[in-house]
Amino acid sequence: MTLYRRLTLVVADGRVEHVCHPIPAPPTHANEVLRWLNRSRAGDGTRLVSRRRRVVT
């Protein structure tokens, strides 16, 4: 069995879109994931602005 300490999966519609591993700086990782999501979702009109709030423009 292989166990991972830190791993982030971005899943949409039941499909893994992106895997972040390893995570070298956990305190700043959430912001890095948000930047990736904002870049990858740029064309669909959705913009994520913080870890807890989602704004649809």
Rounded CA gap, 56 and 49, in Å? 10
Q: Say if residue 51's pLDDT is above 80.
A: no
pLDDT(57) > 70 = no
Q: Are strands 46-48 and 54-56 parallel, antiparallel or unpaired?
A: antiparallel
Give the pLDDT band (50/70/90) at residue 55: very low
N-terminal to C-terminal alpha carbon distance within the chain: 44
Per-residue pLDDT of 1-34, as tens digits, reads 887 788 899 888 888 988 998 898 988 998 998 8
- Is the peptide bond preceding residue 27 cis, with omega within 30 degrees of 0? no
